[in-house]
Amino acid sequence: MEKDIGKIKKNENTEIVVRIDDFGGKPGLTIREYVTGDRYTGFTKSGTRISAENFREFKNLINSIDESEFIAESMSSTDKKASKPKKEQKNLVEEKKNNSGEEEDNNF
> pLDDT per residue over 93-106, tens digit each?
454 444 445 444 44
**Residue, of 103 and 59, whose pLDDT is higher:** 59
Q: In what order do the strands lie in the sheet with 2-9?
A: 2-9, 14-23, 26-36, 41-51
CATH homologous superfamily for the domain 2-99 = Transcriptional Coactivator Pc4; Chain A (2.30.31.10)
At 71 the pLDDT is: 83
The dihedral region occupied by 107, where left means phi > 0, alpha psi between -120 and 50, and beta the remainder, is left
For the chain, domain boundaries: 2-99
pTM of the model: 0.60
Q: Quote the mean pLDDT of the chain.
A: 79
What amino acid occupies position 40?
Answer: Y
DSSP state of 63: H
Task: Collect contacts of 73-79 with beta carbons under 8 A, ≥24 apart.
Answer: none
